[in-house]
Amino acid sequence: MADASRVFLDKSRSLIALDYVPKTERCLDLLSADDIWWRPNEASNSIGNLILHLCGNVCMWIIGGVGRLPFERHRQMEFAERRKIAAPELRLRLKHTVAHADEVMSAVDSVELLSRRQIQNYDVTVLEAIYHVVEHFGMHTGQIILLSKARVGQDLKLWEPPKV
């Protein structure tokens, strides 16, 4: 029988790196800079802001929280950014952040999953922190997909395997 903690960790890593990130990248491939930074209104976020926010969240919760590694986050700037950071730069930030987080998660064992961390004023287990990031990443990936469909007006074909 497989170790449940390893199954949880492997699935969490896979969802982020092999499902959510490629879907986000496929959206970026179809969008102009204007589309990436378009927002329906001031109460909403652009795709660019959502990507910056995902990077900040993963840094705080996984790299800093789970891994207890130094990180720097400016949460309000994730949402306030209005410069049109180019798609390749957003992609690089996201991939770098996720790769670093993946290294942290790959080192977690079953005992550590139940250890506690103080993250963003929450007292959580490492398992809860990882679960939070997977859920949070999935939710914002869905928003990125919705905004992308609204901007390009076509099927994004996310069900197709990525082109290598």
Q: What is the pLDDT of residue 164?
A: 61
Structural domain contains residue 89? yes
**Residue 164 within any structural domain of the chain:** no
Is 158 among the domain residues?
no
Domain presence at residue 25: yes
What total number of domains does the chain contain? 1
Asked whether the CA dihedral 17, 14, 67, 74 is positive or negative, the reply is: positive
| pLDDT tens, residue order, the chain (164 aa) | 469 999 999 999 999 999 999 999 999 999 999 999 999 999 999 999 999 999 999 999 999 999 999 999 999 999 999 999 999 999 999 999 999 999 999 999 999 999 999 999 999 999 999 999 999 999 999 999 999 999 999 999 888 776 66
Asked if residue 163 is part of any domain, the answer here is no
Dump pLDDT digits (tens) for 63-95. 999 999 999 999 999 999 999 999 999 999 999
* pLDDT (tens digit per residue) in 54-63: 999 999 999 9
